Amino acid sequence: MGNRFFGRERIVREIVMGVLASQPTSFSIVGTKYTGKTLLLQHLTAPDGPLHGEEFDAWRPAGFADGRAVISTIVDCSWTDVRSDLMGYLVTHVRRQLETDEGIDLDWRAVESQPTSARQMLQVTRQLRGLGLRLVVFMDNFDRIFEDQLISHDNADELRPLTLELALVVTTQQPLHDLDRELAASPLFNVMTQLFIGLIEPEAARAWLMDYAARFPAVTELMDLLLELTG
């Protein structure tokens, strides 16, 4: 059936161009529950989506026109394993993906020799850059990290160099400054481009419903009501 996604083209293009820029831009996507933040991340990272798919080659900067040069991964910050050790989980998660899904073998001894998980992740990203690859990390439900105070100012300062090597995109229901003003003002987060999302555009909502109705004709009778609710 392919990667079905409707609307938000401006935001999607901005994210794609930003995370693949010569100096990666990090983003904070803000939207209330059920506005499609998770679906947006899934669309961006799908094999046939904007970061990897041939259909979107023209959207990406020349150096990443081949979507295979982009390594994207999603981490759900509501997971217990993530919340207990965010950076340790990320290193393990990325290594598993590189070895199992991407078939990329890095110098893991050099990675393991680093004293902290943040330094290990930095070593991973630098090796990937040396191979002409860009790592894009999406952290869904990032509110949980702030709300549970799972990252300190020292952690944030340690992670800041990472954003010079990889692109970081987080999703939250509220702006980071509303969750923790002091932490959000740290160099790691205050450079993030904030994007607010709500309901999709009316034209996109209608296109989505028409596509859905083509497969489930009974939806046609509810078209006007659904259009009001979704777009």
Q: What does the DSSP assignment read for 67-109?
A: GGGEEEEEEETTSHHHHH-HHHHHHHHHHHIIIIII-----HH
- What is the predicted pLDDT for the residue at 148? 80
Is residue 173 classed exposed, middle or buried when 0-12, 13-18 and 19+ CB atoms within 10 A define those classes?
middle
- What is the predicted pLDDT for the residue at 159? 80
State whether 222 and 178 are in the same domain.
no
* pTM recorded for the entire structure: 0.84
Closest CA to 8 of 57, 175, 31, 143: 31
DSSP sequence for 117-168: HHHHHHHHHHHHHHTT-EEEEEEETTHHHHHTT-S-HHHHHHHGGGGGTSEE
- What is the predicted pLDDT for the residue at 162? 87
**150: containing domain:** 9-198
Phi, psi (5° rounding) for residue 35? -95, 0
CA distance 45 to 25: 17
Structural domain includes residue 127: yes
- What is the predicted pLDDT for the residue at 1? 41
Contact 70, 129 (CB under 8 A): no
The structure tokens 């100096």 sit at: 23
3-state secondary structure of 173: coil
Structural domain includes residue 33: yes
Structural domain includes residue 34: yes
CB within 8 A of 87, min separation 6: which ones? 116, 117, 118, 120, 121, 155, 159
Distances (CA, A) of 183 to 19, 44, 117, 163, 179: 23, 28, 20, 16, 9
State whether 231 and 167 are in the same domain.
no
- What is the predicted pLDDT for the residue at 190? 84
- What is the predicted pLDDT for the residue at 152? 78
Number of domains in the chain: 2
State whether 81 and 148 are in the same domain.
yes
- What is the predicted pLDDT for the residue at 15? 97
State whether 114 and 78 are in the same domain.
yes
Structural domain includes residue 1: no
The number of CA neighbours under 13 Å toward the Cβ of 20 is 28
CA distance 186 to 189: 6
pLDDT means over runs of 10, the chain (231 residues): 63 95 94 88 94 93 94 95 90 96 95 94 96 96 85 80 91 90 84 83 60 64 62 51
Contact 162, 96 (CB under 8 A): no
State whether 19 and 133 are in the same domain.
yes
